[in-house]
Every structure is written in C-alpha cells, then in structure tokens.
C-alpha cells in the first residue's frame, strides 16, 4: 500500500464534511511533510506516512478539521524542529492546544517505557485530556502503531501490546468506541498470547465452516418474522472476536465447547419503541436464556451505549446472542464519543456545546474536574486497570522524567522521589523556573528543579512536613546518622580521657585491632556506643590493653563529701538501676483505635508512646500489637514488612484519664543532691517515676534514664522543659526506642 496522497486525505474529509477548509488541510500536509523530511519508520516507510494514516483513521470517525490537522501534525513538535509557537502562528491556538496535549502524552509515552512509570502514565493520560479530540488522535495513533507492530523489534512489541490491552483498549471502550476497542484488543492479543490466539482462531474457522450457513438461515428467518409484523429491520450476523472469546473462557473458566454465543446478531431498527417490539417477537419465536436479558436503552451504560441484549436458543439448538438497537444507537456504539465529537460546522473548532456532550464526554470532563478538585469520583473505570487517582499530582524533572506524588507533596518529597541523595542534599527548589520555598505544595504539571549542597543533612523537622513515606523514612535515617555522628564525637572525647588516665596511647588503629574483643564491626560503632553510654570506657581500655591492671578504686577521698539526700555514691563505670513499686498501665486497657482481634497491646519497649504522638501499630502475628511513636528508629526494621503496619490512633476518654509510659534521659553534674532535684521536679509536675537507672560515664557527669508515666505529650514536654531549667542538668532528651 503506497503512502496516502494529499488529495486522498482531503477527499476523505469532504465526503462527510463538504464545508471543510481544504486550504488548512493542505497547509498542514505540506508543513508536516517538510518537518519530517527524510525520517523513516521501522517498516522503512517514510515517517510522514504514519501521521497521514492516523488522520485517515480519524476520517472514518468523521472528525472535524482541527482534529484531522492535529493528527497530521501530532509528531512534529516531539520529533522535528517544529515548535508550538510556530504551529500557533500557522494554524491557530486551538490546533496548538491539541498538538501540545499530544506532545505531552508523547513525552509520557517515552517515560512509560519503564514499567513503574507506566502506572503514572495511565493516571496522567486522562488528566491532560482537556479536549476529547486529543484522546481520539492518541487512540488512532495507537491503532496505526498496533497495525504495524510487526516492524518493531520483538523486545518492544510485548510492552506496547500490553500497554494497549491495559490502557488504550479499555479507554476506547470507556469512550464507547467498540470497533476501535475490539481491533486494538485483537492486535494486542495476537502478540501477547500468540498460541491462544492461533488456537481460538483455528477453532472459530472450524465452527464457521460447520455452522456458517446457520448464520444465513437465522438472518433471513429473523428478517422474515419481523417483516410479517411490519417491522423494517437490518439484521447482521457476526462471529465474536478471538480475544472476547478467550476472555470469556478465562473469566468463566469454561472450555471452547461450552461457549454458547460464538455468533452474535445485530438487529437495527428505526425507532426506540421498535426495539421492544423486536424483543417481543424474538422471545415469542425462540426460548430465551434466563438471566441474559439486559436493557441498556432505559439505563444506558456510562459510555452512552444503548441497546437491548438477549440470548435465545436458536433453530439449530445453539445459543444466539442478539443486540437490538436503532441506527443512532448503533452509530454511538461503533464510534462512541467520536459520534459526538463532530462539530456543527467544519470551520468552527470550538468544543461541543454542553447540551450535545455525550455522557462519556461528560464523564471524562467530570473526571478532569474532579482531578482538579480532588474529590472522590465514584464509579471510575469499570472493568479496566485504568485507575485515575484523584489524589495525585504529576510533576516533571527538568529532563522530562515524570514523578507522581500524593496531593499535598512538597519539593522535599519530590527530591526524595528522584533519589535519596537528592533529598538528603536538597537546599532549595525552583518550580517552573521560579525559586520557591521547599515547603510549597506542588501542583499538577509543575516542573521542579532541586538545588543541592553536598554535606547537608536534612533538618529533623522535615519529617513531620513531608507526605511521602519514602521521604519520611529517608529523613529519619539521615537524622539517625547525624545523631550517631554526634554520639561518636562524644564517645571519642570520653575514650581519649579514659586512655589518658590509664596512661596509654589511643589510636583508631589500636581500637580497630580490638574490635573483635568488643564484638563491634567498626571503630565508629565503638565510639557511638561509648557516647551513648552503652559501652564503658574502662572496658574499651581493657580490650585494647588486656595486660592493664583493673583501675584502683578510689577510697580515702570519697569520704570528704558525705552523700547528700538523694545522692547515690556512683563511681565511674558503675551503673545503678532501681524500679519503683509503681503501677504501669495494663495492656488490656490501652485506648487505641484501629485494632481488631483479641491480641494484647503493648508499648514499644524502651520509650513507650504518649497521646499526642502520631503512632503506628506493629503486629507480631499470634502474639501482640506493639505501639510505636512514628519517629521511632525501631520502625526502620519493619520497612520491608508493610503488612505488619497497622494504622492506629489514640481513643481517649476524657472521663477516665490514663497515664502512659515515656522515657527521658538526662545528663546531670555530679554533685550532692542532684538526683533529689530531678525526682522532686518530676513529682511536683505530676509525673510518676517508674524506674531510674544511672550510669556515670565520666567522673564529672552522671547519665540518668528515667521511665515515667504522664498524661500526654504536652505533659511530658512541660516536665522536660522544667528539668532543662535546672542548673545541675546539662541535657534532657526524650528517648524513643
């Protein structure tokens, strides 16, 4: 088949639109031919043949001039030197808009080559269909690509075929374009399941040879019966397509032999009331199959499809499926939304008046509007994998890569979605070329550029400001790393002093040699452990110098200062723990919403959680649910087990207030009476102390860890800030395990 000529295209349009703007069509033809120049397609044909074929497919749908021109131009901006500005100058704003929409989809198409991006592409596909005609050109473009798919390298074929069957065919169906949908499915099916396609096609041939004449008999039989009652009708018999047969076999898990309706008949009449008369005659002539009658005339499908469906047991004892409809209904069933996308006059390129909008188009419009408002659109896409999440925004990197984010996302989320390193080093953002705060809420279509500075660590406060889990986890991890760095620095100071007192040199290499004895894998681990007080400097010194005498206990000088009230003589390296006989909250009464089942509930060991914390429940199947505050570092251990995470909230009863466990850690100066000051402050502020443990990491300081119970986060914060005021306390932190 040679390339379509200019005059052929114009002739096709004139057949259904005598007022077409021939000069406009000719200009578009020449412009696109020049732009594409000598580009070739995979088949060896000139590239320019493709846009023409796409335009030709659209003439079968009898579309307006603007759509045909957009089809001819649809690849120019992406693949040639042409620009949108040039297209607007030459062809006007309406056609520019259509071409721009197609170029955007084209960009995504390239993006969607990565399977994960395919998801985003689906969602965006509808989001940018401002004008139904963009979608029609896109569907015709896909149809032509599918017809010539055998020229594409085999490794790409499958991806294109799968995308067709999952996205484009359902979309065509959703828009009511049955013919187009069936052809797309058929072409894709052939590539996705070649064996199944071949087998079913062969079986269909056999059945047709055996029973083909029955089709003719039923056609004439029906015509005669209807004519006797004075009904003018056209009757067409047709064989089902292999794909719809295969789908039915899969869906109902039946064999080919058990399939009843391989043949279908269409009865086309003049008026809607004739449809019901035909139905009556058919049901009086042949027994109907119960449960197979559907009336889509009184309640049309979402995509405007109207028909009566029924299945009867025909003359040869085989089941026959009938669709009864008027000529107008038939046109909508074939062309769907394209039947409405025709414009009153070929020259006006305005969008159809609201009254003429088909329901499928209204649906699409509504979808786009909802996408803008973010309400919950009911009844999205029945029976398709095409989901359009109203709660997403689609943004681009400067290179055009698509990033889908939840609504409310900020450039920080965007940065982490691109790559963890980009997020960790982000210091600023440009949105659509303008500098914007990192906390700006992103909108659909924003192009976001992140400014980075190496050596940055994300502020811990970001964690509560981002909306994506990925960003939250990464910020938490980065914060942990930064905190660890601080602890390691502190640990190094403590060890330097300890080695100095033992009068032995301290180097990282010596420490490295002793790692095995300390059961740690890296020098940093030892430093951080000492800084946190998990490991004592004396043990490290002895691990590095096993021959060292144990430190002599100081005796005489300790008596100089008699221990004050609440002061425990605590020597360096010793630790002291005591638990008070206090009630801790019972697990049976933890007021948490979002839990089902009878598993006991407990709080995260080593830190607990208090109302005011955002909390997560982690399920240990068969055992218990543990409640953690959202900022708990322990949660990282469950990152790869999302099925264990429960969405839980506090469920408090003002009438029965309750205390909750929390842990604080403070660093106090070693002087008489300091512990008394601490405990008194907590008691005065209505905190209950459950347990205290003390470690004296250096001669000057004591680390005190206190488990207490409080009413809520506000209460806990008040106690902490009160403690920070005390001169004897150098540091107070809440501990979240």
Active-site amino acid positions? 78-79
Task: Sheet with 701-710: list strands edge to edge.
Answer: 575-579, 688-695, 701-710, 660-669, 729-735
Please give the Cα distance from 439 to 18 (Å, whole number).
56
Tokens standing for residue 419: 């790559």
How far apart CA 70 and CA 94 sit, in angstroms, is 9
Residue found under tokens 């949108």: 84
**Helix extents (H) in 229-326:** 242-252, 272-285
Beta-bridged to residue 295, according to DSSP, are: 308
Q: What are the tokens at 299?
A: 């309640």
CB atoms within 10 A of CB 319: 17
Distance CA 44, CA 152 (A): 11
Backbone phi and psi for residue 350, each to the nearest 5 degrees, phi listed first: -70, 165
Cα→Cα distances 88→19, 94, 97, 589, 616, Å? 22, 8, 8, 69, 54
Q: Work out the burial of residue 696: count CB atoms within 10 Å of its CB; fewer than 13 is exposed, 13-18 middle, 19 or more buried.
A: buried
What does the alpha-carbon distance between residue 159 and residue 163 come to, in Å, rounded to a whole number? Answer: 6
Helix 537-544 / helix 523-532 crossing angle, nearest 10 deg: 150
Total number of residues shown for the chain: 737
End-to-end CA distance of the chain: 72
Return the sign of the alpha-carbon dihedral for residues 342, 343, 347, 350: negative
**DSSP character string of 545-600:** -TTSPPPPPP-GGGGGS---TT-----TT-EEEEE-S-PPPPGGG--EES--SS--
């Amino acid at each position: 088949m040679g390339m379509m000529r200019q005059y052929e295209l114009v002739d096709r349009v004139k057949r259904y639109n005598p007022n077409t703007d021939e000069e406009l069509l000719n200009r578009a033809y020449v412009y696109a031919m020049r732009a594409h120049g000598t580009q070739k397609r995979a088949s060896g044909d000139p590239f320019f043949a493709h846009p023409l074929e796409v335009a030709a497919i659209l003439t079968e749908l009898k579309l307006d001039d603007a759509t045909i021109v957009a089809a001819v131009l649809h690849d120019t901006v992406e693949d040639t030197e042409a620009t949108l500005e040039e297209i607007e100058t030459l062809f006007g704003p309406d056609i520019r808009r259509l071409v721009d929409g197609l170029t955007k989809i084209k960009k995504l198409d390239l993006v969607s080559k990565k399977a994960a991006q395919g998801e985003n592409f689906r969602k965006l596909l509808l989001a940018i269909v401002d004008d139904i005609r963009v979608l029609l050109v896109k569907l015709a473009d896909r149809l032509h690509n599918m017809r010539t798919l055998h020229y594409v390298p085999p490794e790409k074929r499958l991806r294109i075929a799968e995308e067709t069957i999952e996205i484009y065919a359902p979309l065509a169906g959703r828009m009511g374009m049955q013919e187009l949908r069936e052809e797309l499915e058929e072409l894709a099916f052939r590539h996705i399941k070649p064996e199944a396609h071949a087998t079913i096609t062969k079986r269909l041939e056999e059945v047709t040879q055996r029973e083909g004449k029955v089709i003719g008999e039923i056609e004439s039989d029906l015509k005669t019966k209807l004519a006797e009652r004075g009904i003018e009708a056209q009757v067409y018999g047709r064989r089902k397509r292999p794909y719809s047969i295969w789908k039915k076999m899969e869906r109902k898990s039946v064999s080919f032999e058990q399939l009843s309706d391989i043949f279908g008949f269409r009865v086309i009449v003049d008026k809607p009331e004739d449809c019901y008369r035909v139905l009556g005659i058919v049901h009086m002539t042949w027994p109907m199959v119960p449960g197979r009658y559907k009336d889509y005339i009184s309640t049309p499908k979402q995509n405007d499809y109207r028909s009566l469906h029924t299945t009867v047991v025909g003359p040869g004892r085989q089941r026959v499926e009938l669709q009864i409809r008027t000529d107008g209904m038939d046109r909508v069933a074939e062309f769907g939304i394209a039947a409405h996308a025709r414009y009153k006059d070929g020259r006006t390129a305005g969008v159809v008046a609201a009254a003429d909008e088909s329901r499928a188009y209204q649906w699409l419009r509504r979808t786009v509007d909802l996408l803008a408002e973010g309400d919950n659109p009911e009844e999205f896409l029945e029976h398709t994998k095409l989901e359009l999440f109203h709660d997403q925004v689609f943004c681009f990197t400067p290179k055009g890569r698509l990033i889908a984010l939840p609504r409310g996302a900020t450039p920080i989320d965007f940065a982490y979605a691109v790559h963890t390193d980009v997020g960790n080093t982000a210091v600023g953002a440009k949105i659509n070329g303008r500098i914007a705060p990192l906390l700006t809420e992103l909108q659909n279509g924003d192009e976001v550029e992140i400014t980075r500075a190496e050596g940055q660590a994300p502020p811990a406060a970001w964690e509560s400001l981002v909306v994506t889990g990925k960003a939250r986890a990464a910020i938490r991890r980065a914060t942990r790393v930064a905190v660890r760095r601080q602890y390691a620095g502190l640990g190094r100071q403590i060890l330097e002093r300890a080695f100095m007192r033992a009068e032995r040199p301290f180097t990282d290499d010596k420490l490295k040699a002793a790692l095995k004895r300390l059961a740690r894998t890296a020098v940093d681990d030892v430093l951080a452990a000492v800084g946190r007080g998990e490991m004592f400097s004396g043990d490290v010194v002895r691990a590095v110098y096993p021959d060292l005498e144990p430190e002599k206990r100081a005796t005489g000088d300790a008596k100089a200062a008699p221990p004050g009230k609440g002061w425990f003589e605590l020597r360096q390296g010793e630790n002291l723990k005591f638990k008070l006989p206090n009630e801790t909250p019972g697990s049976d009464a933890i007021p948490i919403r979002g839990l089902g089942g009878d598993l006991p509930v407990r709080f995260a060991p080593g830190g607990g959680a208090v109302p005011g914390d955002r909390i997560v429940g982690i399920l240990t199947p068969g055992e218990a649910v543990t409640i953690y505050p959202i900022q708990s570092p322990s949660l990282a251990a469950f990152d790869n087990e999302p099925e264990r995470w429960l969405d839980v909230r506090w469920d408090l009863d003002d009438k029965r207030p309750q205390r909750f466990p929390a842990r604080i850690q403070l660093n106090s100066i070693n002087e008489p009476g300091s512990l008394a000051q601490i405990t008194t402050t907590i008691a005065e502020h209505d905190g209950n102390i459950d347990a205290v443990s003390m470690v004296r990491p250096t001669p000057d300081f004591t680390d005190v860890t206190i488990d207490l119970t409080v009413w809520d986060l506000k209460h806990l914060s008040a106690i902490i800030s009160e403690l920070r005021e005390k001169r004897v306390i150098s540091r107070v932190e809440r501990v979240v395990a």
